[in-house]
């Protein structure tokens, strides 16, 4: 079966075109600032900062140093922003072919690729320097690994193999490990428990996104699982399987003495709710069930992280 998405129609290309006054240098200072902020993918950076905060606060166990926490957040945020910029630098040509990304600053021509590369590099160097200046430089090493895996390995694999989702889930799950390392200087079992929760959470979340935007991803040349699974059988099974494994993994913080009974009950309920959404998606793979699964994913992770902060166990 041919899964190649149809090219943009003339009307769609016209709708995605950028007005002359939004080309590089023509939008004024406000437009320039907006574009450079957009390059950092602020929503992704915000999620990174939340998970870093949780990792740090759990690692500090009630003795958090506000200055060290601020340095960890700022440093990691800059590195995450750098990774997002470099991801778009390397994907510029593919982004130009997709409806959902064609109007981003680089493919639209509002920011030059070489300027974005310099900008992204400066953000990354500043962030790593800040983390290295902290009391626990191991956090900088994990942040550097996160950057390389996301900006270069994951980005390179997206048009090559459907396994890109699994590879991309690794840097996506490392921010709480950065936070834990910034607080403790080590990478104990608690940090890896947090890693596993975020790692597994991403699969149903991103598989739902990949299904909803399957034609657009194919148009851009990205090899997502739905591109080789037009009926959604494998996509639904993968989403349900990872959600199933997440149920017991979500309870690991209790088993290792990181969280208490309130967390146990909440995480169990949330895990079963997320699993129900994934099973429904597997049973009836459609845009509607994918959107409901996506909604469940947006509930699961923030709620689990909040429960970890509300019901931690003392060291």
Domain spans in the chain, listed from the N-terminal domain onward: 23-187, 189-315
Helix (H, G, I), strand (E, B) or coil at 159: coil
187-215 as b/e: b if 16+ CB within 10 A? beebbbbbbbbbbbbbbbbbbbbbbbbbb
In angstroms, the Cα distances linking 99 to 87, 182, 273 are 17, 39, 32
259: closest CA among 102, 10, 58, 57? 58
Q: Which residues contact 245 (CB under 8 A, 6 or more apart)?
A: 200
- As a whole number of angstroms, the distance between CA 132 and CA 309 comes to 26
Task: Look up the CATH superfamily of 23-187.
Answer: UbiA prenyltransferase (1.10.357.140)
- As a whole number of angstroms, the distance between CA 289 and CA 104 comes to 28
Q: Look-up: residue for tokens 């596993």? A: 196
- As a whole number of angstroms, the distance between CA 96 and CA 76 comes to 29
Rg for the chain (alpha carbons), in Å?
Answer: 20
207: closest CA among 301, 285, 104, 108? 285
Q: From first to last of its 315 residues, what are the pLDDT tens digits of the chain? A: 444 455 555 444 444 444 434 445 545 566 889 999 999 999 999 999 999 999 999 999 878 889 999 999 999 999 999 999 999 999 999 999 999 899 999 999 999 999 999 999 999 999 999 999 887 899 999 999 999 999 999 999 999 999 999 999 999 999 999 999 999 999 999 999 999 999 999 999 999 999 999 999 999 999 999 989 999 999 999 999 999 999 999 999 999 999 999 999 999 999 999 999 999 999 999 999 999 999 999 999 999 999 999 988 776
pLDDT score for 14: 44
- Tally helices (H) and strands (E) across the chain: 17, 0
CA 276 from chain centre, in angstroms, equals: 23
């Amino acid at each position: 079966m041919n899964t190649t998405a149809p090219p943009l129609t003339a009307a769609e290309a016209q709708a995605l075109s950028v007005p002359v006054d939004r080309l590089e240098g023509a939008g004024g200072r406000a437009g320039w600032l907006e574009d450079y902020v957009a390059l950092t993918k602020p929503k992704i950076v915000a999620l990174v900062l939340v998970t870093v905060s949780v990792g740090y606060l759990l690692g500090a166990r009630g003795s958090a140093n506000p200055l060290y926490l601020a340095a960890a957040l700022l440093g990691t945020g800059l590195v995450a922003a750098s990774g997002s910029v470099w991801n778009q630098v390397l994907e510029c040509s593919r982004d130009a072919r997709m409806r959902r990304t064609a109007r981003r600053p680089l493919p639209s021509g509002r920011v030059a690729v070489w300027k974005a590369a310099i900008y992204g590099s400066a953000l990354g160097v500043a962030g790593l320097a800040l983390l290295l200046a902290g009391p626990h430089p191991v956090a900088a090493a994990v942040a550097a690994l996160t950057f390389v895996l996301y900006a270069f390995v994951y980005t390179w694999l997206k048009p090559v193999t459907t396994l890109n989702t699994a590879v991309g889930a690794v840097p996506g799950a490392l921010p709480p490990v950065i936070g834990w390392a910034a607080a403790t200087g080590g990478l104990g079992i608690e940090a890896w428990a947090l890693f596993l929760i975020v790692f597994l959470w991403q699969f149903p979340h991103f598989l739902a996104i990949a299904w909803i935007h399957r034609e657009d991803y194919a148009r851009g040349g990205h090899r997502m699982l739905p591109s080789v699974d037009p009926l959604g059988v494998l996509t639904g099974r993968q989403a349900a399987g990872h959600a199933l494994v997440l149920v017991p993994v979500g309870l690991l913080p209790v088993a290792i003495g990181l969280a208490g009974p309130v967390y146990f009950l909440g995480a169990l309920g949330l895990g079963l709710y997320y699993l129900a959404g994934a099973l429904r998606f597997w049973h009836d793979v459609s845009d509607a069930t994918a959107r409901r699964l996506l909604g469940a994913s947006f509930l699961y992770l923030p709620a689990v992280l909040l429960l970890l902060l509300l019901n931690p166990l003392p060291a």
